Amino acid sequence: MSKTRQEKIDNLSEKIVQLENQRKQEQQKQKTEERNARTKRLCKRHGLLEKYMPDLVAITDEQFETFIKKGINTSYGQKILGEIMAKPQIAATNKPHDNTTITANSNTANQNPAATVRA
């Protein structure tokens, strides 16, 4: 027995609804993956910042924002970022390991973190 035109239309409408739901599910998965990647990136980068500048742990969020605005978001900071972004990425295994530690009371980098003296 063949389906009537109305049955075919209803069947296609059901498939459309199913495909729309699948699309929504895939979009939700994509958003979740993007959110998780952002969270991982933020944690990793802030961890690196605290690794090289351990005194940041003791400051407030407002002080941290001021530090970013005045210390990093400068023309010099933008220049360095531009230079970094212009270079091709190097594989993680080929990166030189930099043990630079900067304290709040020092404007110089110390290549040996064990020799860093905090005042």
pLDDT above 70 covers what percent of the chain?
74
69 and 48 in a common domain = no
Residue 37 falls in which region: left (phi positive, over 0), alpha (psi -120 to 50) or beta: alpha
Is residue 2 situated within a structural domain?
yes
Q: Say what the pLDDT of residue 1 is.
A: 54
pLDDT of amino acid 108:
39
- Do residue 2 and residue 52 come from a single domain? yes
112 pLDDT more than 60: no
Residues 71 and 52 in one domain: no
Domain assignment present for residue 118? The answer is no
If asked whether residues 43 and 1 sit together in one domain, one would say yes
pLDDT at 118: 37
The CA–CA distances, whole Å, from 73 to 59, 69, 70, 77 equal 18, 5, 6, 6
User: From CA 118, how far away is CA 102, in angstroms rounded?
Assistant: 10
Domain around 37: 1-56
Position 114 scores a pLDDT of 39
Cβ(108)–Cβ(53) under 8 Å?
Answer: no
Q: Are residues 5 and 36 in the same domain?
A: yes
Token pair of 55 as six digits: 């005194």
Q: Which single residue is written with the structure tokens 């209803």? A: 10
Radius of gyration for the alpha carbons in the chain, expressed in angstroms and rounded: 26
Give residue 91's pLDDT: 56
Q: Taking all residues of the chain, what is their mean pLDDT, rounded to a whole number?
A: 81
- Residue 97: inside a domain: no
User: Any idea which of 43-47, 95-99, 114-118 has the lowest mean pLDDT?
Assistant: 114-118
**Same domain? 3 vs 22:** yes
Looking at the structure, do residues 7 and 29 belong to the same domain, yes or no? yes
Domain count, the chain: 2
Predicted local distance difference test score (pLDDT) of residue 31: 98
